[in-house]
Amino acid sequence: MSVPEGDAAPPQQYPQQHPQQGGSPPAYPPVPPNGAYPAPPGYPQYPQYPGYPAYPPAGMPDRWSPAPPAGQEQQYGRVGVVPWTYAQTWRGTLLTIIPWLLVMVLLQIAGGALNSNAVQTAPISRAQDAVGFVVIVIVTFIVEGIFLIAPLVYALAIRPRGVTPGDGARALGFRSTGLLAGIGWVVGGFIFMIAVSFVYGALVDLLHLPLKTNVQVLTDRAGASPLTILGSLLGAVLIAPLCEETFFRGYLFSGLLRGMSGWAAVLVSAVLFTLVHGDIGSAVPLFIFGIVLAVIRWRTGSIWPGIALHAANNALAAATLLPTILKALGA
């Protein structure tokens, strides 16, 4: 049965569909009043310190962002959230300290109590002293290089998906900071540590404490083996600051922030820094120095000021030994 022409059904419409299906295309969203669309949802915002882009690189997982959780900005300071976990921080610490202790025990066995206060007063030949110089530099590279194991593993080798090696290096603190602020922290910390050493030395003398620092031990030995002691000092100034700051402030301190408060992380990292040095006579200044270096990392986000201060502090101690070394060398 046919339908009369006047009663024909109207053509079907396809609203908001493709034009070829009989409808019109969907309208674009309105332009915001300021002319700029908002940032895409779900992108974690980076903290405002140099070295990080405004948005994360493509492919960054949602589970990690250097931006501290809401309400924890003061805890993380300028460090931010690092890509290794709190548990990985402690595993890496054990992975570092246990081999370090084993190496130190072997050195003590081979060298006759390396960290004891025994004084070598009998002069050795210049050839033996030159060999000692080479050996002590190589040993320093090995011992201090152990501190780079955990940072290399957890910050650069084992990384969350989408985190680049550059992100890992920046998380360790290899990033810039304000020049004037960095200089201020280094100079202020250097002057403060001079005052600490002066007060500590005065108290030891006043109380007649039977304590002898490593610097005093090296001073006693410098006359017998000046080149060997010179090699030890070069390692302390040029090698130790980079390796120790990378581990204790770059890796350990920043990782501890993921599981404890800022000041607790400062104190724990300073305690481990003191214990690892094994210098009973300098334990108090070393502990205070560890606190100063951790605070600098906390407040600047970078380890470069800490490396500079560490090197300057060791260089000052080396400078006190230089006249004895030069005299023994006949210079």
5-31: pLDDT as tens digits:
555 555 555 455 555 555 566 666 666
Let me know if residue 190 belongs to a domain: yes
Helix axes 226-238, 126-145, angle to 10 degrees: 20
Mean pLDDT of 191-210: 93
Let me know if residue 182 belongs to a domain: yes
> In terms of residue numbers, what domain contains 113?
86-329
The per-residue pLDDT for 20 is 55
In the predicted structure, residue 61 carries a pLDDT above the cut 50: no
Let me know if residue 79 belongs to a domain: no
Let me know if residue 217 belongs to a domain: yes
CA atoms within 13 A on the CB side of 147: 23
Contact in structure between 223 and 328 (CB atoms under 8 Å): yes
CA distances to 275, 280, 306 from 297, rounded to whole Å, are: 20, 25, 7
In the predicted structure, residue 46 carries a pLDDT above the cut 80: no
Q: How confident is the model at residue 33 (pLDDT cuts 50, 70, 90)?
A: low
Mean pLDDT of 205-233: 87
The per-residue pLDDT for 107 is 73
Amino acid type, 144: E
In the predicted structure, residue 168 carries a pLDDT above the cut 90: yes
CA 43 to mean position of chain CA atoms: 27
The per-residue pLDDT for 47 is 47
Let me know if residue 33 belongs to a domain: no
Q: How far apart are CA 86 and CA 181, in angstroms?
A: 29
In the predicted structure, residue 191 carries a pLDDT above the cut 80: yes
Let me know if residue 249 belongs to a domain: yes
Q: Which residue has the higher pLDDT, 222 or 231?
A: 231
**Number of separate domains in the chain:** 1
Q: How far apart are CA 114 and CA 173, in angstroms?
A: 32
The per-residue pLDDT for 25 is 60
267-319: pLDDT as tens digits:
999 999 999 988 888 999 999 999 999 999 999 999 999 999 999 999 999 99
Q: How far apart are CA 79 and CA 255, in angstroms?
A: 10
pTM for the whole structure? 0.78
Let me know if residue 46 belongs to a domain: no
List Cβ neighbours of 195 (8 Å cut-off, separation of 6 or more). none
223-277: pLDDT as tens digits:
888 999 999 999 999 999 999 999 999 999 999 999 999 999 999 999 999 999 8
What percentage of the chain carries pLDDT values higher than 70?
A: 76
Let me know if residue 77 belongs to a domain: no
Q: Among 88-92, 115-119, 130-134, whose mean pLDDT is lowest?
A: 115-119
The tokens for 203 are 């108290």
User: What region, left, alpha or beta, does residue 18 occupy, with left being phi > 0 and alpha being psi -120 to 50 degrees?
Assistant: beta
What percentage of the chain carries pLDDT values higher than 90?
A: 52
